[in-house]
Structure 1
């Protein structure tokens, strides 16, 4: 069967094993059902996810013009501590920024290779953890806006990593770490403004299993601009990556806005 799509982040559903769905032109493709099947991915061009024009993608599925205009990709997205909507100060679009920033946010610990600290809107749990390929995660604080989450993350990343080693994550090389113990160690470093929001009674660890038949021993990334046609057997999906039998990995998230044809053999 053949599917046409403008690539977007895979949708996920947390069950005993994560279920992955790819939005295609006429349907949602359940990627779990494609495990152990041969797939051909053909690169057909670009389509900006904001303006819809067939313009070369610059970053995050957007063309150059949209990337520097869209309120959805302001600096506060990657650096929550730069959020200013709580002060009534606009970055690009105050109404949008209030809607996004003035919502409950969670600062968490996730285990994907090493343990890392991160920030997400409360409504994005557990989606954010799945997208990072975390096998376990636990919440630390729940704050009323993105700024407080951001300054908490900045303080905590002095004591714990804030990045995932994506190659180790894909090879399933994961450290054995007690997240509850790590959370207690970090409690003392939470900024004064966020201390009242510490989730004192939260000892719940979320465990996440991925649909992977076999993990790669090494990884080589598929770049559709350099390799516009790729053929391989799908053996797993983890984070936002497709894993293939020949150790090729394809980051769907990094290829947003790419027009492709996916053929299942």
Structure 2
């Protein structure tokens, strides 16, 4: 959705065709590996979530790319965060009640995630460590299956994008207990942040950005960066992003580079401390 929103604006600002090529597989890593096989001539730019640049490289030893060496950060697009939600599997109505319930019911103390090895997985681990509450991660095959599992009481809690649960929270079918961004969302004003509840280590704000292969002509990078920033200044694009709990972030490539570097270092420490090792 985001790529097509931006592409529609880029066609006009660049006065040239802009083709959106969806590359799926390997948990999203394949899109960056695919770009490494393409020429660095200014014809290929990749929109990627930050986890592919900050978490995956700390997990997978056989990646075909190094995020600190192989890419030029072009422009930020948006930031986003995650929420911890509970359903009929527990009566908890606050984070502290939920953690207390988990300690009293250790066999049920678990949280579901769309997949292992992503920010949702490690956010739950950070909460477990910070609160001293053993929590078992349970992977599902994507967001829809996870949502159905927590709605049906198959699992007590789940962690996923804020946008996945906002409507269900509003309807009362699920209860969002906390969100991982640094400040409350104006679209979920009744939901506290992990930080304000005392869990500052659980502040997790991810981002989406455009990158290009190292060696891409500076003129092409500048043209796309300018086009992306203009697109993010359009009311229709901003409104569409905000409706899905994505906050527009038209920051320069240098800032994106700083985000990548700090995220890579942070998640490297978390991955190592967690002891999690995926199958390559």
TM above 0.5: no
Q: Which of the two has greater strand per residue?
A: 1
Higher helix share: 2
TM-score computed with the length of structure 1 as normaliser: 0.24
